[in-house]
Structure 1
Amino acid sequence: MSNKIPLTVRGAEKLREELQRLKHVERPAVIQAIAEARAQGDLSENAEYDAAKDKQGFIEGRIQEVEGKLSAAQIIDPKTLDAGGRVVFGATVDLSDESDGKEVTYQIVGDDEADLKEGKISISSPIARALIGKEAGDVAEVQAPGGVRAYEIVEVRYE
């Protein structure tokens, strides 16, 4: 069984951009840094060489990680979803906190795409797990650090 990683179209684009930057900017730069450090002579006490080799190891590892994620990606375009108004991966959900009436909007995305400042929450987060399968008018209860929070689903969009 292949283990697919759900990604939105935008999340896949960001990973591809990172891969391009790593392969075509970061990798050549670190190779150049290693060559310059090597030219300084004795490698046994050359901190620049050691640092450049460490950075090269990190870059190569990240390239493999990103390539692996992209090859296992199941790219989901929220605009093409027909989930009948239910909250699913990729959906954007408007919520109202039942305790104080504050409204928040979240898009449910893959783990690599999650960014709370952008309103993107991971599919594996407690709030996303509580929302999945519900629809507008439903109440989702989320176990938060300060106790259980209840959110009413105001609207579900696929954009």
Structure 2
Amino acid sequence: MSRMLTKSDYDKLKEEYEYRNTVKRHEIAKKKMEAAAFGDRSENAEYKAAKEEYYHNNRRLGQISRLLKNAIIVEEDKIDDEVNIGSEMLLKIGADETFKAKLVTTLNISVEDEDIEYISVDSPFGKALYKKHVGDSIDVNLPDNRSIKDIKIISIKN
């Protein structure tokens, strides 16, 4: 499955991949060798921890590799009235319910900011918003066969 990434996101992933594949892998191998020298591996907590770290690092390398391989690089255009990656929007649902949202790549989703809803550009909602303009209304079909109708873009801040 392809993911939209900014050039900056792509470069960060490549950097993490290189670090994990060289420096981190070497550090883990050294830890495993030192822990193995302590003797019986079946009761060796240091060896088991190093082995778990090795598997975790390899899993992350696989994830990053798939993301890089399937990435679609998109520009962070700053067109004033167009929704793009990084845009903060005021959206209106129905007659009077409004909320703030920010369109981001999957790598930049945050759950810590309670004042704004982060929407991945790869989600159905994000795909519907991407490249729309102030005043546009969208309908979103969700994966569970539900839909949200008539979401209006009130304002965009890039």
Matched, 1:95 2:90: yes
Per-residue CA deviations over 1:80-107 (Å, capped at 9, x if unaligned) read 8x8x95546x362412334656451412
Q: CA deviation at 1:13?
A: 2.9
Q: Distance in 1 between matches of 2:148 and 2:2?
A: 31
Contact kept in structure 2, 1:93 and 1:153, CA below 8 Å: no
Alignment partner of 2:5: what SS?
Answer: strand
TM-score if structure 2 supplies the norm length? 0.69
Structure 1 gap segments, 5+ residues each: none
Alignment partner of 1:23: what SS?
Answer: helix
Q: Distance in 1 between matches of 2:102 and 2:50?
A: 40
Report the counterpart of residue 22 of structure 1 in structure 2. Answer: 20
Structure 2 gap segments, 5+ residues each: none
Report the counterpart of residue 113 of structure 1 in structure 2. Answer: 108
Change (3 A) 1:142 1:79: closer
Report the counterpart of residue 153 of structure 2 in structure 1. Answer: 153
CA RMSD of aligned residues (A): 3.5
Matched, 1:137 2:132: no
Q: Distance in 2 between matches of 1:72 and 1:126?
A: 18
TM-score if structure 1 supplies the norm length? 0.69
Per-residue CA deviations over 1:67-126 (Å, capped at 9, x if unaligned) read 23213322111228x8x95546x36241233465645141242x3433354664212434
Equivalent residues, number: 152
Q: CA deviation at 1:64?
A: 2.7
Report the counterpart of residue 100 of structure 2 in structure 1. Answer: 104
Report % sequence identity.
27
Report the counterpart of residue 49 of structure 1 in structure 2. Answer: 47
Contact kept in structure 2, 1:95 and 1:151, CA below 8 Å: no
